[in-house]
Structure 1
């Protein structure tokens, strides 16, 4: 897997974000997947054999706190722990950008994503932001530490 740092409006990234939005909207039966990636977001694009495989972004949420946004692995690339590698990579990038914690929103209809986050050490927190009162939303946080070694 190769990881590329790309701008929030990179066409290859946007194609994956649109696929992620379609999947989320279908799972929840909604017409809007919520806020996406903006100019202040740091975005990673994962490729495998010149195929766009997945993406993730981190956006500033509060001083020293970032929010993981639009984590997605294309269906044809699932089952190879790519999500875990994307999450680890965005955590490293967040540390480089001065974040000491990451938060994220997921949902009750995304058990695969929830499992990835929990395995990576994210802990449930009270929900916040646009989905604070949405019973289908789950929120998580992880305090980041510098890599050992």
Structure 2
């Protein structure tokens, strides 16, 4: 059974999943990992989703305020043996619902140009390409996306 749990960055399962994510990214992005790593700290993130299958943590994601009306999607990860099963889309949807409940109007995110699976995920879920923002503005290995949130209530 799949269960999504809203929590924060002090959740030990989230911390453990992020360690796996960081190991994965360090391997895949060895030359640029230190640049991106500085923007991926998880301390004091108030809005985290952890996904469990049969009480085992298998994926996570988070949102944090970027601007008055904008949340940034952070730390998206699904364990390798659970990829391709819609888990990441479930996490993303839950984060979007949460952002909407908090009255944010859009979500933005950054991923690497070589993360073709992530790019496919975000496009499939309605994210559109935008100019690179903030610290990613001049980074050629980054690609940024945005999605307008629709009020669900």
**Where on the TM-score scale, by shorter chain, does this alignment land: which range?**
over 0.9
Any stretches of 5+ residues in structure 1 without a counterpart?
A: none
Distance across 2 between alignment mates of 1:64 and 1:147? 16
TM-score, length of structure 2 as denominator length: 0.91
For the pair 1:68 / 2:73, whether they are aligned, the reply is: yes
Where does structure 1 differ by over 4 angstroms across 4 or more consecutive aligned residues? none
Aligned to 2:85: 80
Aligned to 1:20: 21
For residue 31 of structure 1, report the CA deviation from its aligned partner: 4.2
Question: Can you list the C-alpha shifts for 1:66-99, whole angstroms capped at 9, x where unaligned?
Answer: 0000011011211211111111110001111121
Which aligned pairs between 1:107-146 and structure 2 lie closer than 5 A? 107-146=112-151
Root-mean-square deviation (CA, aligned residues, Å) is: 1.4
Distance across 2 between alignment mates of 1:104 and 1:63? 16
For the pair 1:99 / 2:104, whether they are aligned, the reply is: yes
Distance across 1 between alignment mates of 2:74 and 2:33? 18
Distance across 2 between alignment mates of 1:129 and 1:41? 21
Distance across 2 between alignment mates of 1:43 and 1:79? 21
